[in-house]
């Protein structure tokens, strides 16, 4: 794992019995360490997204979601669009693209539309841009708060998501929209998720193009949309940093306020 990984992710991994070996944070540094470990130990590399088995494995969540939604709407029809007993669409985050391309593969031929959701900050929407240009964007350098989605789309995932039969579209959102969706998920749905996980919810709530598409295709009736919230690798400190009181952020920019709002600079100067 990169040394800058979230402490709770490192602790969680170790708690499952893993021997965690650290690397630098760029993909070049990571791959060098992996090659070394494979060489020394004879370990089998399980790639994070750019492999057919990983894609198929991640796709199984779409099968579970389909089943869960059908069972839920059987029990509580009022939770869905009247008269519709199944999912109409699924929206999932896209970083390397293993999960999204797995979902596309699992749902191909079901009539359920699949959408991807990306952060937009500093070109993090490489998949959306790639689809626009008809060519995979091969490198990305962004510090979006959705840190699980900073990776460019991998080769094999790209071959799947760039197929219009498989993926219905990709939509992106701003940092503020991600924060607002994250707040809603935590404060109201009581789900402790990481910023990356809030990106599809942010698209649903705030992306105007996506809203227009749904209005056009689903009409007045609407769709039953499944939202993939993945994952939950964040810490209290990371959340604290994202949500410090806005007045403090503003005043901090002027360099004259402390955490608890005392104007130390003035006191000292006076």
Strand 89-93: give its sheet, edge to edge. 169-173, 113-119, 89-93, 225-227
Omega of the bond prior to 82 within 30 degrees of 0, cis? Answer: no
Asked if 193 interacts with a copy of itself (CB under 8 A), we say yes
* Token pair 């993945």 in the structure block, residue: 230
Compose the 205-234 pattern: x for residues touching a copy of itself by CB under 8 A, - for all others.
Answer: ---------------------------x-x
- The reply on whether position 186 binds a copy of itself by CB under 8 A is yes
**Binding flag, residue 187, a copy of itself (CB under 8 A):** yes
**What's the rounded Cα separation, in Å, for the pair 225 and 166?**
17
* Site for a copy of itself contains 16 (CB under 8 A): no
* Least Cβ distance, residue 48 to a copy of itself (angstroms): 21
Q: How many CB atoms lie within 10 A of CB 73?
A: 18
CA-only gyration radius of the chain, Å: 21
Q: Does 260 bind a copy of itself (CB under 8 A)?
A: yes
User: How many Å apart are CA 244 and CA 164, to the nearest integer?
Assistant: 42
Distance, CA of 127 to CA of 161 (rounded, Å): 9
For a copy of itself, the binding residues in 232-251 under the rule CB under 8 A are 232, 234-237, 239-245, 248-249
Whether the bond into 216 is cis, omega within 30 of 0: no
Q: Which is nearer to a copy of itself, 22 or 243 (CB)?
A: 243
CB 184 → a copy of itself: shortest distance, Å? 10
Q: Kindly identify the residues of this chain, within the stretch 154-183, that bind a copy of itself according to CB under 8 A.
A: 182-183
The only residue of 74, 190, 216, 219 in contact with a copy of itself, by rule CB under 8 A: 190
């Amino acid at each position: 794992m990169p040394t800058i990984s979230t402490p709770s992710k490192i602790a969680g991994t170790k708690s499952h019995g893993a021997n965690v070996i650290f690397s630098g944070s760029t993909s070049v540094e990571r791959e060098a360490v992996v090659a070394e470990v494979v060489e020394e130990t004879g370990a089998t590399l399980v790639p994070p997204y750019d492999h057919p088995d990983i894609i198929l494995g991640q796709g199984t969540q779409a099968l579970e979601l389909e089943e869960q939604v059908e069972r839920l709407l059987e029990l509580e029809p009022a939770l869905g669009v009247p008269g519709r007993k199944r999912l109409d669409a699924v929206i999932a985050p896209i970083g390397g693209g293993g999960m999204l391309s797995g979902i596309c593969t699992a749902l191909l031929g079901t009539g359920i539309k699949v959408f991807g959701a990306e952060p937009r900050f500093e070109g993090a929407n490489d998949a959306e841009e790639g689809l626009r240009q008809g060519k995979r964007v091969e490198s990305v350098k962004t510090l979006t708060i959705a840190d699980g989605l900073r990776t460019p789309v991998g080769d094999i995932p790209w071959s799947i998501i760039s197929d219009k039969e498989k993926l219905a579209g990709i939509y992106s959102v701003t940092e503020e929209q991600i924060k607002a969706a994250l707040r809603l998920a935590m404060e109201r749905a009581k789900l402790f998720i990481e910023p990356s996980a809030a990106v599809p919810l942010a698209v649903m709530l705030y992306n105007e193009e996506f809203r227009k598409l749904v209005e056009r295709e689903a009409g007045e009736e609407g769709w039953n949309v499944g939202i993939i919230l993945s994952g939950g690798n964040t810490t209290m400190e990371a959340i604290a940093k994202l949500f410090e009181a806005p007045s403090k952020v503003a005043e901090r920019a002027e360099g004259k306020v402390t955490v608890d709002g005392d104007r130390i600079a003035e006191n000292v100067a006076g």
